[in-house]
Structure 1
Amino acid sequence: MTDNLFESFSLNDTITLQNRILMAPLTRCMADENLVPTDLMAQYYGRRADAGLIISEAAIIRPDGQGYPNTPGIFNQEQIEGWKKITTAVHLNGGKIFAQLWHTGRIAHSHFSGVTTVAPSAIAKSGTVARMRELTYEVPKAVNQEEIAQLIVDYANAAQNAIKAGFDGVEIHGANGYLIDQFLHHDTNRRDDEFGGTPENMVRFPLAVVDAIINAIGNEKTALRVSPGAYVNLAGDDRDRQVFDYLLPELEKRNLAYLHIGIFDDSQEFEYLNGTASSYVRGHYKNTLVGVGSYTAESASDAIDNNQFDLIAIGRPFIANPDYVAKVRKNEPLVEYSEEMLASLV
């Protein structure tokens, strides 16, 4: 039984979702050469509007945040106009959509922007760039205080651009080893100023971004994705637990639209979290929580019944099944996802 997935859910006084099933952010690398969303992308999102909420693929807040080819931006007017086609398609079909705001930090590459990559500390990721294996990751520039201040402004501007483009709100990408997450983990944050070294300092920049966006568009339209358990793009450290112990109550005070776990498989356990990422966050955060990570409709329904989280974000099955929500509601078989599906938008 999955009846609870089809209950409406109020994020707050201004946003009510038609069901508890969210479409997770899925990087598709299908924007044009100017990082402008296309008509095909509008059709793709419009077909999935029966989700309670669509979280868009991550949108770059400024040129130096790009780490993958053809990922859409949200920092100029042409991009805003492209996104308007997408939000219009979703709204015409009765859906709601948040923009995920993204800066990849040390996962970015100067190949895309022509400028130096930036991060909390000058520590390169090993290996080659995803989807462009000919590129090796570069040593980033450690941002100074003036550059940090500008990043905060750029995040807030991107949030305002999202609202201009017709989005119902924004999800700040603070997970999966990208810029904000890099400040929250000792592996990538080796700073000795007020932005590193202690939990209070390591959360300073992420919270400043959250507060700037709240001031720009309102807390009811602001959400955040976090990865307390390091599992991709950086390594975990036992001290990371103290950082998130400090961060989560601070986030709870801000009455966000929701908090979203960043994890590919929520059965993965982390010794320094004493279990899974979602169980750890639920134990430290009492407001609306979005679970994700290889759940089926049935296992997600059980998890919601057990108060593990309030909403479920579904990823790859939404690529394979534009009508995912209808199929689950009718208990119809799903098309199985395969890597070949990444080659086109359907």
Structure 2
Amino acid sequence: MMAFGFGTHPPAGGRICVVGAGFMGCVIATLYARHGYEVVLCDSQTVMLDSYAERARPIAATLADDTLTVEAILDRVSTEASLKTAVAGVFMVHEAVQEVLETKQAVFEELDRLCPPDVVLATNTSSFLISDIATGMSRRERMVGIHYITPAHIIPVIEIIHSAFTPPELVAWGRAFVQSIDHVGVACPERPGFLINKIQFAMLTEIYRLMDEGLASRDDIDAAVRLSLGPRLALWGPLLTEDLIVSKKTALAVTESLFHQTGDENYAGRKVLRDLVDQGHLGAATGQGWYRFEDDVDQVTEERDRQLRALLDWLREADPVERLNVR
């Protein structure tokens, strides 16, 4: 078990160093301050530190209801150009420097020398493997990925990326920390794309292909997703949506049909889906699919339709695309 000097949960009001005062570092530092942590924002470029408050004020304004609270948030963030000084007394360092592997490796090699063993070292990398970043560290077991999704102060999910050398206790600690800032942690092992980008770009890659082949227009693709897939995914996510919408037998038949038509292995029916079909766990209609349903199918369907109608009514009334003034 990894021995954290401050226990299994982050200390309330403790001190955090955020390395990198660019866009993401600015957002992350402000978010931590909003939830009561004392933050030291560190960057070798003093111009970035000097402009922090100006750049952070509109971010803080989205997290607070009044001017006094906004100023209190900003007051909890100090700036420091010296990394050695910035990490003094912290329980965690969160790196948010530019997405260049050599730069991140150099930062973590220095942090590993400067910080006591019980300080958690976190990276906001969106693409690199934790094990690659930690190449020069001697105590890499205290490193974890805490990856925000833009806009980080609004999107509530954070990826907690772990490697083969990451103790389970650190992943649990990461979940507790993320919960302390009113976000939801989703843990995944390091792999290209992690979790969210892997899902997101699977869809986008297929969309790019459709456009390359001239099979669908920009407007038709966005309308199809925004008014069919989008509301369902926003309400329930992909697996619960499948439980609520279609029998697992049908889902398996569709994947097999697509595989036979295209030869694309990505469409081959997966073992997890076949196992559910073999067990008779077909979704809401049978009381169990990916999820177990306590209510009967008629009640579930009624509530499903109520939620979906409410969201679609809101989309029609709000007309969010029109408000963006795009063409």
Larger helix fraction of residues: 2
- Structure number with higher relative contact order (C-alpha < 8 Å, ≥ 6 residues apart): 1
Tell which structure's C-alpha radius of gyration is larger: 2
Q: Do the structures match in fold with TM over 0.5? A: no
